[in-house]
């Protein structure tokens, strides 16, 4: 879950008397175990950031069915091109449109999607009352991005698959994480923090940055960037080792991307 969502639940939610339980939703039984009599909402993110773990939306939706519990899915990594949670039983889908929807790293936004009239009306009310609305120009950029979403996602997948196959053959790679769709690939190298930093500093096409989902390829180093605030011991317990990198594979020529990783690896 992104830090922003975690912080929102903890800081804002708890102020209003809400309490939260955080579990690994890749095992539906963990969700079942966390449900309480007064549970109102289950929020899942799939695939997750940065280990790209996948949860079974349909199985989780069955657990909450008939219980007046809303199921919300953060579908940012998959996009509707690969995964449509409403069809799998979710009540609400959220996206960071900053990522694949916009697709060009030039606009920040988010959206909430539902097929329930009452919820749409309620969301519209809060949107108007609280003012969390994008500007007309931001809407225009996002809509322009969406027009090529399908084409881009196909190419993201093709490139990500090629990068995954290359990485799997590298002796210096311990583990590759790729869910089989989408443009995000994570890889764990047998490298110290120093060597990992040297490698990602040697990339010429992959730019070191925290975002994802744009036409340009990006590399993120969770241990020193997105998840740097988590103590090393705790971080490693959940698989975020010093040698782990996360790639947002862009739309460049796949041979160029592979050659870039190859030359960076040769420098270590």
Ligand X SMILES: *Cc1c(COP(=O)(O)O)cnc(C)c1O
Name the residues that contact ligand X, by CB under 6 A: 2, 4, 45, 49, 74, 76-77, 96, 98-99, 108, 110
Residue 267 beta carbon to ligand X: minimum distance, rounded to whole angstroms: 29
Residue 49 beta carbon to ligand X: minimum distance, rounded to whole angstroms: 5
Nearer to ligand X, 173 or 247 (CB): 247
Scored b (16 or more CB within 10 A) or e, 46-55 reads bbbbbbbbbb
CB contact set of 114 (below 8 Å; sequence gap of 6+):
86, 91, 92, 93, 120, 123
**Calpha distance 16→54 (Å, rounded):** 31
Residue 72 beta carbon to ligand X: minimum distance, rounded to whole angstroms: 12
C-alpha distances out from residue 73 to 80, 99, 112, 180, 208, Å:
12, 16, 10, 19, 28
Residue 77 beta carbon to ligand X: minimum distance, rounded to whole angstroms: 6
Residue 206 beta carbon to ligand X: minimum distance, rounded to whole angstroms: 18
Nearer to ligand X, 49 or 186 (CB): 49
Nearer to ligand X, 123 or 193 (CB): 123
Name the residue whose CB lies closest to ligand X: 96
**Calpha distance 234→170 (Å, rounded):** 28
Nearer to ligand X, 88 or 258 (CB): 88
Return the beta strands (E) in 168-238 as ranges: 173-177, 184-189, 207-208, 218-220
Nearer to ligand X, 2 or 201 (CB): 2
């Amino acid at each position: 879950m992104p830090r922003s969502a975690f912080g929102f639940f903890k800081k804002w939610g708890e102020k209003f008397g809400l309490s939260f339980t955080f579990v690994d939703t890749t095992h539906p039984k963990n969700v079942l175990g966390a449900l309480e009599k007064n549970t109102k909402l289950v929020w899942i993110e799939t695939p997750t950031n940065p280990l790209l773990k996948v949860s079974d939306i349909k199985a989780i939706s069955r657990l909450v069915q008939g219980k007046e519990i809303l199921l919300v899915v953060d579908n940012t990594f998959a996009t509707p091109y690969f995964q449509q949670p409403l069809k799998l039983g979710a009540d609400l889908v959220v996206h960071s449109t900053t990522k694949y929807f916009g697709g060009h790293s030039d606009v920040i936004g988010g959206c909430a999607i539902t097929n329930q009239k009452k919820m749409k009306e309620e969301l519209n009310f809060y949107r108007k009352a609280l003012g969390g609305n994008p500007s007309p120009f931001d809407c225009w950029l996002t809509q322009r991005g969406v027009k090529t979403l399908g084409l881009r996602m196909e190419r993201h997948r093709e490139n990500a698959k090629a990068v995954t196959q290359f990485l799997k053959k590298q002796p210096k790679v311990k583990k590759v994480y790729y869910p089989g769709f989408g443009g995000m690939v994570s890889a764990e190298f047998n490298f110290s923090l120093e060597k990992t930093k040297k490698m990602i500093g040697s990339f010429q096409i992959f730019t070191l940055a925290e975002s994802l989902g744009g036409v340009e390829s990006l590399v993120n180093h969770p241990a020193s960037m997105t998840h740097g605030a988590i103590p090393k011991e705790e971080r490693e317990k959940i698989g975020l080792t010093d040698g782990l990198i996360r790639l947002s594979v862009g739309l460049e020529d796949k041979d160029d991307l592979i050659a870039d990783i190859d030359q960076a690896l040769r420098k270590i």
